[in-house]
């Protein structure tokens, strides 16, 4: 009788642990490959950015901001980046930027196709993709760090993996949403003219969904950036580790400087991706 009233303990934690160690034992080679790819990408990105003198990079970014956005965005970019340089945080900022951009790029490469699939196969999208995304977004970000360390050991790659998982949901959701929002009469018209499934996707759905997809890209990049401080806990370098060491030493000045550098990067990335989306939205 007693056993009926007491809910048995299900060892979920143990189960997850077993899964992770199973993955580590039998798919170690796969993680090794991923490790090499991400590490190489991040390193080469850093190498390029550090190869050029900081002032040259600042100038290039400012010109880019001018072309994509406005004159004022260019001025802001120039002042902001110069400030980071003057605070002697240039190398950290480049580390962070490399990590954020590589992670975002991978998140987009995985997320956009999943979003398209979720829109095309609506039951798959609603019954599988959505709950998984909810899980990814609401699970405290710190939790991702633990399996990341086990599978990839401490360092930039583990940080990047945790960042990818954490940052991917918005672009999946908004790609899905953007495609589903294409008006049904537009779809009907395209079908009635004899479009194939591929033509529908490439010539009608994706172009019309593009502004929404860009909003998702913007969100994903911003989330990736917000992950940098957390990722520094498992050895990802950059501005995050500056913030963390300032925290452990209760050193208010350097802590604020590093934080400010994160804010500047965030605003710059946000404005630049946004103007990119506006450009595409009107085209």
Partner 1 sequence: MSTLEVRNLYKIFGSSPKTALEMSQAGKAKDEILKETGNTIGVNDASFEVQEGETFVVMGLSGSGKSTLIRCLNRLQDPTYGEVLLDGKNIVELSEEELRHVRRKKMSMVFQNFGLFPHRTVRKNVDYGLEIQGVPEEERKEKAYEALELVGLKGYEEMTPAELSGGMQQRVGLARALVLDPDILLMDEAFSALDPLIKKNMQDELLALQEKVQKTIVFITHDLDEALKLGDRIAVMYEGRIVQIGTPEEILTHPANDYVRNFVENVDRSKVLTAESIMKKPLAVVDPKEGPSAALRKMKNEEISSIYVVDHKRRVQGVVDIADVKKLADKGEKSLKSILRKDFDTTSPDTTIVDLLPTAGTTNYPIAVVDESNKLLGLIVRVSVISGISRDGENNA
Q: What residues make contact with partner 1 under the rule CB under 8 A? A: 183, 185-186, 188-196, 199, 203-204, 207-208, 210, 283
Q: How far apart are the C-alpha atoms of 225 and 204, rounded to whole Å? A: 32
Minimum separation from the CB atom of position 280 to partner 1 (A): 10
Minimum separation from the CB atom of position 274 to partner 1 (A): 19
Residue 216: CA count within 13 A, CB half-sphere: 27
Minimum separation from the CB atom of position 282 to partner 1 (A): 10
- Comparing CB distances to partner 1, the nearer of 7 and 193 is 193
- Comparing CB distances to partner 1, the nearer of 81 and 174 is 174
- Comparing CB distances to partner 1, the nearer of 55 and 186 is 186
The CA–CA distances, whole Å, from 228 to 11, 167, 195, 242 equal: 32, 11, 44, 11
Minimum separation from the CB atom of position 194 to partner 1 (A): 4
Q: How far apart are the C-alpha atoms of 227 and 192, rounded to whole Å? A: 46
Total residue length of the chain: 283
Minimum separation from the CB atom of position 189 to partner 1 (A): 3
198, containing H or E segment: helix 197-199
- Comparing CB distances to partner 1, the nearer of 190 and 267 is 190
Phi-psi sector, 235: left (phi>0), alpha (psi -120 to 50), beta? left
- Comparing CB distances to partner 1, the nearer of 148 and 204 is 204
Q: How far apart are the C-alpha atoms of 167 and 223, rounded to whole Å? A: 5
State the DSSP code for 235.
Answer: T
- Comparing CB distances to partner 1, the nearer of 110 and 208 is 208
Minimum separation from the CB atom of position 196 to partner 1 (A): 7
Q: Any residues with CB less than 8 A from the CB of 116 and at least 6 apart, and which?
A: 175, 176, 179, 201, 206
């Amino acid at each position: 009788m007693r056993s009926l009233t007491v809910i048995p303990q299900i060892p979920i934690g143990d189960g997850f642990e077993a899964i992770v160690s199973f993955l580590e034992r039998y798919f170690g080679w796969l993680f090794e490959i991923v490790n090499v790819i991400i590490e190489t990408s991040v390193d080469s990105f850093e190498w390029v950015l550090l190869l050029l003198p900081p002032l040259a990079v600042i100038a290039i970014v400012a010109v880019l901001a001018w072309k994509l956005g406005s004159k004022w965005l260019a001025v802001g970019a120039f002042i902001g980046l110069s400030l980071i340089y003057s605070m002697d945080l240039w190398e950290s900022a480049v580390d962070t930027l490399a990590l954020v951009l590589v992670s975002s790029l991978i998140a987009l490469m995985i997320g956009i196709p999943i979003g398209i699939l979720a829109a095309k196969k609506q039951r798959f999208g609603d019954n599988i993709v959505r709950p998984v995304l909810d899980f990814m977004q609401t699970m405290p970000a710190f939790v991702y760090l633990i399996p990341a360390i086990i599978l990839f050991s401490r360092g930039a790659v583990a940080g990047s993996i945790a960042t990818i998982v954490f940052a991917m949901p918005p672009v999946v959701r908004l790609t899905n949403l953007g495609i589903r929002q294409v008006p049904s009469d537009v779809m009907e018209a395209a079908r009635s003219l004899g479009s194939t499934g591929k033509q529908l996707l490439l010539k009608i759905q994706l172009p019309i969904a593009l502004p929404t997809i860009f909003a998702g890209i913007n969100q994903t990049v911003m989330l990736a950036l917000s992950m940098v401080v957390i990722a520094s806990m498992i050895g990802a370098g950059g501005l995050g580790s500056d913030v963390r060491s300032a925290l452990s030493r209760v050193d208010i000045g350097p802590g604020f400087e590093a934080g400010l550098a994160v804010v500047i990067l965030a605003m710059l990335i946000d404005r630049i991706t946004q103007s990119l989306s506006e450009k595409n939205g009107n085209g």
